[in-house]
C-alpha cells in the first residue's frame, strides 16, 4: 500500500512526463484547431490554450473535501489538464460562439459559472468540458498519456480581465489569504466589470443590427 | 482479457406500454458452449463496435448521465440487481417495432482496465431440422435470438477509472442508415442517452478539408478521382459514415484513400463515424476548378460542375478534352490570384 508521499511522488513523475510529451503538443494543436474553426468570426479578442502546469495539477490533485482526498484518480478525474479560452467582446457574442462550440465539439458538461447568490459578485464565465477531438491527437503521442477531455472557457473582455487580476492577487502560491475588506474590494471590481458588460452589451445590441 | 461476470435478461418492449413486463434475468456460467459464444463476442467487440459515442450531459449541462450511472454502478459490483436496472432502462426505451430482445451484460478486466459489453440479440423465428438416416423432422422455433440480424445492437466501454472514465464507448448499430426511423435511434440516443462523439459539423469539416487539401497535392489522376468524389459528396446528406466509408462508397482507389488519410492528424480520425452535413461541406468545398493546358480555368459550384460543363474527348488529341457549356453572361471578373 502506497503512503500519500509515495503516491504524490509517483503522480508528480507521471504528470510531468504527460505534460511534456502529450499535453503541451496537444494544447498547441488545439489552439490551431479552435482558431481555424472560429476563423472569420467577429469580435474575438484572442484564443489561447495551455497545458496545466505540474504545480497547479498537483495542488488540485491534493484538494481535500471533508478531510478526504477529492480526486482518488486525478489523472482520469481532473478534466482541465488541457484548457482553452476564447475571449470575446460582448455578452451577446458568448451566445453566438456557444452555438459554434456545440456544432463542432461534444460536451459532457456546460455551465455558466456565476457566484452562488445574486447578492454576491465574483467569477463569471461560461465553461465547457469537451471531448478532445482526434484532430489534435497525433499518432506519435502515447495514447495512455492523452486525456479524454479539455476545458473550454468563453469570457467577455471584462470577465477575463477581472478573473486574471483576481487570480493574480488572490491565488498565488504562498500568498497571504485575503482579508474581508480585500475580498469586498474584489467583489466591488467584479460588480463594476459585470455592470460594464451589461452596458456595453446594451449599446452593442442597440447600435449593431441583429445577426452581425 | 478475461470475462468475469455475465448476466442475461429478457427484454420485453416497454415503451408506450401501460403494463411493464417483469424483467427476469439470470447469471450465465463461465464455462460451456454459451460462455464460449459470448466470450468470443466480448473478445471481438473492440473490432465489431465501430461507432464512437459519448454519454450526453443533462439538459441543463450537468456532468451526469442516467445510463452511465447504471453502467458504472454495475461495473463497481456486477450482480443481477444492478444488471436488472440496465435491463429495465432498455425495456423502457424499446417499443413494439424492436420487439423482444435478449440482453447480455459481459464484464471483465483487460489489464488494469474494466471492460463491459452490452449486447442485445433480437428475436426471430426459425425452423429446426433433425435429420437421421430414415427420417427428417422439422420443428418451428419461436424466440430464437440471432446476432447476425441487422437489428443486433452492442456497445463496449473500457477504462481504468470508474469515477473519471466511462464517458465514451463504441457501439454497433447496423440500422444507422436504414429508413426505418425511430427504432434505429433508440439504442444510441434513447437507451444509452448518448450521441456520436464526432459531431456532424466536425466530421464533415475534417473530411472536406482532407479531401480539398489532398486534391491540391496529389498527382493528376488521383486529383481527378478526388474532385469527382468531391462533386458527388453532396448526395451523402444525412448519411452516417466514416472517412473510410466515404472512400469505399464513392469507389476511390487505395491511392486516393491514402491521400485523404495522409491529410489527417491521427489514424483514428478515418474510422470515426459522423453524420454528413451538407452545409458544412459546401462551406469548405464550394467550387470545383479545372485548369487546361491552354490556360483555361473552368470553375463552378462543386455539386453543379459536371452538369454545367459537358466533357468530351477530342479525336486524335493526345489526352485532350473539350468542355462545352451554355448560358447567359451574368458577370465577369478580373482576379488577382487563382
DSSP A85-150: EEEESSHHHHHHHHHHHHHH--EEEEEEE--SSTT-----EEEEEEEPPGGG--TTS-GGGS-SEE
Query: What is the per-residue pLDDT across B273-297, written as a single tens digit (0 to 9) for each?
Result: 999 999 999 999 877 888 888 888 8
Region A116-132: mean pLDDT is: 95
Judged by CB atoms closer than 8 Å, whether chains meet at A134 and B161 is answered as no
Phi/psi for B261 (5° steps) reads -60, -35
**Is A136 in CB contact (< 8 Å) with chain B?**
yes
Q: Note whether residue A172 is domain-resident.
A: yes
Model confidence band, residue A109 (pLDDT cutoffs 50, 70, 90): very high
Region A97-121: mean pLDDT is: 96
Is pTM beyond 0.80? Reply is yes
Q: What is the pLDDT of residue B269?
A: 94
Query: What is the per-residue pLDDT across A72-94, written as a single tens digit (0 to 9) for each?
Result: 999 999 999 999 999 999 999 99
Name every chain A residue with its beta carbon within 8 A of the beta carbon of B264: 135
Model confidence band, residue A3 (pLDDT cutoffs 50, 70, 90): low
Residues in CB range of B320: below 8 A, 6 or more apart:
B293, B313, B314
> Residue A83 belongs to what domain range?
4-207
Q: What is the pLDDT of residue B181?
A: 45
Q: What is the pLDDT of residue A143?
A: 93
Res A96 pLDDT > 80: yes
**Is B212 in CB contact (< 8 Å) with chain A?**
no
How many domains does chain A fold into? 1
Q: What is the pLDDT of residue B332?
A: 81
Res A59 pLDDT > 80: yes
Region A103-110: mean pLDDT is: 98
Model confidence band, residue A138 (pLDDT cutoffs 50, 70, 90): very high
B93 Cα to chain A: minimum distance (Å): 22
Phi-psi region of B16 (alpha: psi -120 to 50; beta: other; left: phi over 0): left
Residue B182 has what DSSP assignment? H
Name every chain B residue with its beta carbon within 8 A of the beta carbon of A101: none
| Residues of chain B predicted below pLDDT 70 | 1, 17-18, 149, 176-184, 335, 337-338
Q: What is the pLDDT of residue A141?
A: 96
Phi/psi for B53 (5° steps) reads -130, 160
CA distance A1 to A22: 29
Judged by CB atoms closer than 8 Å, whether chains meet at A135 and B57 is answered as no
The ipTM assigned to this model is 0.91
Residue B44: in which H helix or E strand, if any?
Answer: helix B33-48
Q: What is the pLDDT of residue B69?
A: 98
Query: What is the per-residue pLDDT across A142-151, written as a single tens digit (0 to 9) for each?
Result: 999 999 999 9
Q: What is the pLDDT of residue B198?
A: 97
CA distance A131 to A137: 12
Q: Note whether residue A212 is domain-resident.
A: no
Q: What is the pLDDT of residue B183?
A: 47
Residue in B61, B200, B202 nearest the CB of A111:
B61
Residue in B167, B266, B267 nearest the CB of A108:
B167
Judged by CB atoms closer than 8 Å, whether chains meet at A108 and B57 is answered as yes
Q: What is the pLDDT of residue A209?
A: 74
Dump strand ranges (E) for chain B: 2-11, 24-27, 51-55, 101-110, 113-132, 135-145, 153-159, 168-173, 194-196, 240-241, 274-275, 287-291, 297-301, 310-313, 321-324
CATH of the domain at A83: 3.30.460.10
Nearest to B192 by CA among B55, B333, B4: B55
CA distance B212 to B227: 8
Judged by CB atoms closer than 8 Å, whether chains meet at B163 and A76 is answered as yes
CA distance B278 to B190: 25
A65 Cα to chain B: minimum distance (Å): 16
Q: Is A41 exposed, middle or buried (0-12, 13-18, 19+ CB in 10 A)?
A: middle
Q: Note whether residue A37 is domain-resident.
A: yes
Q: What is the pLDDT of residue B182?
A: 44
Look up residue A187 and give its three cell numbers: 467583489
Contact B157, B115 (CB under 8 A): yes
Amino acid at each position: 500500500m502506497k503512503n500519500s508521499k509515495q503516491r504524490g511522488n509517483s503522480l508528480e513523475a507521471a504528470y510531468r512526463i504527460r505534460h511534456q510529451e502529450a499535453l503541451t503538443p496537444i494544447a498547441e494543436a488545439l489552439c490551431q484547431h479552435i482558431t481555424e474553426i472560429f476563423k472569420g468570426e467577429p469580435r474575438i479578442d484572442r484564443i489561447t490554450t495551455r497545458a496545466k502546469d505540474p504545480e497547479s495539477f498537483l495542488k488540485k490533485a491534493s484538494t481535500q473535501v471533508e478531510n478526504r482526498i477529492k480526486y482518488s484518480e486525478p489523472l482520469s478525474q481532473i478534466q482541465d489538464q488541457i484548457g482553452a479560452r476564447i475571449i470575446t467582446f460582448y455578452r451577446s457574442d458568448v451566445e453566438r460562439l456557444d452555438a459554434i462550440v456545440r456544432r463542432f465539439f461534444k460536451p459532457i458538461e456546460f455551465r455558466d459559472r456565476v457566484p452562488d447568490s445574486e447578492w454576491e459578485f465574483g467569477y463569471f464565465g461560461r465553461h465547457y468540458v469537451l471531448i478532445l477531438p482526434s484532430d489534435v491527437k497525433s499518432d506519435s503521442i502515447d495514447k495512455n498519456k492523452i486525456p479524454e477531455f479539455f476545458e473550454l472557457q468563453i469570457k467577455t473582455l471584462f470577465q477575463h480581465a477581472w478573473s486574471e487580476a483576481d487570480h493574480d492577487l488572490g491565488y498565488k502560491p504562498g500568498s497571504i489569504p485575503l482579508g474581508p475588506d480585500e475580498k469586498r474590494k474584489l467583489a466591488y471590481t467584479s460588480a463594476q466589470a459585470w455592470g460594464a458588460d451589461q452596458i456595453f452589451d446594451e449599446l452593442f445590441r442597440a447600435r449593431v443590427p441583429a445577426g452581425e | 482479457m478475461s470475462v468475469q461476470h455475465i448476466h442475461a435478461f429478457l427484454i420485453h418492449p416497454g415503451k408506450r406500454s401501460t403494463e411493464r413486463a417483469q424483467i427476469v434475468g439470470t447469471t450465465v456460467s463461465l464455462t460451456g458452449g454459451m460462455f464460449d459464444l459470448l466470450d468470443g463476442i466480448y473478445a471481438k467487440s473492440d473490432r465489431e463496435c465501430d461507432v464512437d459515442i459519448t454519454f450526453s450531459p443533462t439538459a441543463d449541462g450537468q456532468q451526469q448521465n442516467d445510463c452511465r450511472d447504471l453502467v458504472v454502478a454495475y461495473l463497481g459490483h456486477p450482480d443481477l440487481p444492478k444488471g436488472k436496472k440496465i435491463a429495465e432502462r432498455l425495456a423502457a426505451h424499446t417499443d413494439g417495432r424492436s420487439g423482444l430482445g435478449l440482453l447480455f451484460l459481459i464484464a471483465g478486466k483487460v489489464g488494469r482496465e474494466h471492460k463491459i459489453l452490452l449486447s442485445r440479440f433480437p428475436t426471430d423465428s426459425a425452423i429446426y431440422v433433425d435429420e437421421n438416416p430414415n427420417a427428417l423432422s422439422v420443428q418451428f422455433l419461436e424466440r430464437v435470438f440471432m446476432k447476425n440480424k441487422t437489428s443486433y445492437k452492442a456497445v463496449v466501454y473500457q477504462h481504468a477509472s470508474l469515477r473519471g472514465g466511462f464517458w465514451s464507448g463504441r457501439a454497433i448499430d447496423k440500422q444507422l442508415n436504414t429508413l426505418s426511423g425511430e427504432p434505429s435511434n433508440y439504442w444510441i440516443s434513447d437507451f444509452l442517452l448518448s450521441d456520436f462523439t464526432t459531431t456532424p459539423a466536425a466530421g464533415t469539416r475534417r473530411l472536406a478539408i482532407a479531401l480539398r487539401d489532398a486534391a491540391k497535392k496529389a498527382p493528376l489522376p488521383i486529383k481527378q478521382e478526388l474532385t469527382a468524389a468531391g462533386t458527388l459528396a453532396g448526395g451523402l446528406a444525412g448519411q452516417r459514415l466514416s472517412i473510410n466509408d466515404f472512400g469505399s462508397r464513392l469507389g476511390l482507389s487505395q491511392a486516393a484513400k491514402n491521400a485523404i488519410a495522409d491529410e489527417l492528424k491521427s489514424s483514428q480520425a478515418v474510422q470515426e463515424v459522423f453524420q454528413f452535413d451538407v452545409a458544412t461541406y459546401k462551406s469548405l468545398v464550394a467550387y470545383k476548378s479545372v485548369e487546361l493546358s491552354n490556360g483555361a480555368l473552368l470553375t463552378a459550384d462543386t455539386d453543379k460542375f459536371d452538369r454545367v460543363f459537358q466533357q468530351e474527348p477530342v479525336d486524335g488529341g493526345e489526352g485532350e478534352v473539350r468542355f462545352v457549356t451554355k448560358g447567359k453572361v451574368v458577370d465577369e471578373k478580373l482576379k488577382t490570384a487563382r
